[in-house]
Amino acid sequence: MHNFASREHQSMAHVHLRSLSVGDIMTKDVVSVHPGTSLVDATNLLVQHGFNGMPVVDDLKKLVGIITEYDLIMNKGPLFQVSTFQLLVQILPLLRKDGRRYKKIIDEIALLVVAEVMNPDPFTLFEDATYEDALIAFRDHHRINPIPVVNHEGFLRGVISRQDILKPLSSVKDFSGL
Amino acid sequence: MDQCELPKLTVKDIMIKEIVSVTPETPLIDAANLLVTNGFNGLPVRDSEKKLVGIITDYDLITKKAPAVHLPTFQMMLLNLPVERKDRGHFRKIVKEVASLTVEDAMNTEPLTLPDDASYEDVLKTFREHHRVNPIPVINKDRHVVGVVSRFDILKPLSSFRDA
């Protein structure tokens, strides 16, 4: 029984089956931002799309960083104090009525850009990495999600998230008719 | 930053009250489906009395041995199924095995929670101190889930700043 199983494994690995690469399962239609993008706009993109993070690229689409919701929450700069977040929640409804009162903090927040909060040295995968490389990367780096995918010249080619890794599991039902 | 006249915010002001949850008996593949289709990082697990008994996250599904060990096989199946009839016996066995897994096999049974009277400051601090945890179930004194709070809920005010 054991021999039978291992023989089958061998044939799967070496003869019949092609394995997926990161390039096959990544999202190619990437939403990215620029280091100079306002932090308010970047946060908006994260929240609207439900992304955990976005790659940051320069004008030539070379990867220069990643910005994640985690980075935004962890940032302890003066404008990221608990009181600022809390104040924002509370004053937003009042802003239209009484904008002048909070002008200073509003101006400061509007001037923040992605470069101030991004991680400039993100973990990346090459597009020719295997599905298993990606699985191991997500397993070993629990903070990392998503992972920008680059070519060997460092240009952004796509992005891969835990959701992309789990897609095969979520489509198991499609195999029930096997 | 004059805020003396503003009332103190609590977790109730920012949490999501429409809770998508699973039970320990929910098939694992259904939980994976809910995570992928809704773009959630995690789901609270409730028993038949609606009490919190755990949480299941995308990270659990990638790291816990039971489902994760089969992920590479499944991705190969997705790619090769139309042409490969020969290996179907093997695949069928794995599909059956994974289809029989339930949330209980991969969930975290001691999830971090927040009480429903936690302050906004408590919420932010909790996310900062527990970087693996997202989302966090909000429970009342009877351990009933009254909401779920995620990192997005912290960031929403910043994101809607432009509209104001």
Q: Does residue A11 surpass a pLDDT of 60? A: no
B67/B56 Cα distance (integer angstroms)? 12
A25/A35 Cα distance (integer angstroms)? 27
Which of B75, B91, B98 lies closest to A131 in CB terms?
B75
A2 in a domain, yes or no?
Answer: no
A130 in a domain, yes or no?
Answer: yes
A60 in a domain, yes or no?
Answer: yes
Structural class in CATH, domain B11-159 = alpha beta
B118/B149 Cα distance (integer angstroms)? 11
B41 has a chain A CB within 8 A of its CB: yes
CATH number at residue A87: 3.10.580.10
| Number of folded domains that form chain A | 1
**What is the predicted pLDDT for the residue at A8?**
41
A9 in a domain, yes or no?
Answer: no
Q: Does residue A137 surpass a pLDDT of 90? A: yes
Per-residue pLDDT tens digits for A106-124: 777 788 899 988 999 999 9
Q: Do B159 and A44 touch (CB under 8 A)?
A: yes
Nearest residue to B57 (alpha-carbon basis) of B36, B43, B39, B46: B43
Per-residue pLDDT tens digits for B29-65: 899 999 988 889 999 999 999 899 999 999 999 888 7
A121/B121 Cα distance (integer angstroms)? 30
A89 in a domain, yes or no?
Answer: yes
CA nearest to A90 within chain B: B6
In chain B, residues 62-81 whose CB comes closer than 8 Å to chain A: 62-63, 67-68, 70-72, 74-81
A13 in a domain, yes or no?
Answer: no
CA dihedral A55, A124, B58, B96 (to 10 degrees): 130
Per-residue pLDDT band for A3 (boundaries 50, 70, 90) equals very low
A82 in a domain, yes or no?
Answer: yes
Q: Which residue has the tokens 């700043």?
A: B161
A126 in a domain, yes or no?
Answer: yes
Element (H, E) at A63: strand A63-68
Which residues partner with B51 through β-bridges?
Answer: B144
Q: Which residue intervals of chain B are DSSP H helices? A: 11-14, 28-38, 58-63, 65-68, 71-80, 88-99, 120-129, 151-159
